[in-house]
Amino acid sequence: MYKKKTTQEAVLDVLIYYSNCLLSLQECKDLKSLAKKLFLYGITVEMEKHGNRIGFGSFYCNDNNNYIAFLTRIAVLPQYEGKGYGTQLLKRIEEIAFEAGMKYMRLEVNKTNERAMNLYNKMGYVFDGNAHACSCYMIKVLQKGD
């Protein structure tokens, strides 16, 4: 089951809950401000199964010029890694972005994060330029039923 977070407090709850498994959240000094930004301008979706929290993703669908959605964060709890939940979650995120009128999904990934790079390649993402020395952008054309 996927739950779209519809309040700033719900987004903050997700960020706090997953902060132990997502390094970028551990480094974030102000989760309240991040939650506000994601609530106002983005979409946060959490995946649950049998009442257990599995993972979440946050993304933006507000580029109405180029129709590019941007995945800012995706995480699956360590005990659920390697079981296909990341793939399922990313597919749902892509569906929501497509339904919102987006034509592409773009993301930034650390070049040393092999698990993520493999997932994105498997899901059809291609290299779209270097972001920084240690990270790159990847992009995918979104299609119905993808």
Domain assignments of the chain as residue spans, ordered by start:
2-141
Q: Thinking of the domain 2-141, which architecture would CATH place it in? A: 3-Layer(aba) Sandwich (3.40)
d(CA 29, CA 43): 21
Q: What are the tens digits of pLDDT across the range 31-47?
A: 888 899 999 999 999 99
Is 80 among the catalytic positions?
A: no
Please measure the distance between the N-terminal and C-terminal CA atoms of the chain and give it in whole angstroms: 18
- The per-residue pLDDT for range 71-104, each reduced to its tens digit, is 999 989 989 989 999 999 999 999 999 999 999 9
Of all residues in the chain, what percent are helix, strand and coil, respectively (each to 5)? 35, 35, 30
> What CA–CA distance (Å, rounded) separates 119 from 101?
24
pLDDT in tens, 106-146: 999 999 989 899 999 999 999 999 998 999 999 999 998 76
Nearest to 85 by CA among 57, 125, 121, 44: 57
CB 79 within 8 A of CB 69: no
Query: Is there a contact between 61 and 102 (Cβ–Cβ < 8 Å)?
Result: yes
Q: Which of 67, 120, 125, 137 is flagged as catalytic? A: 120
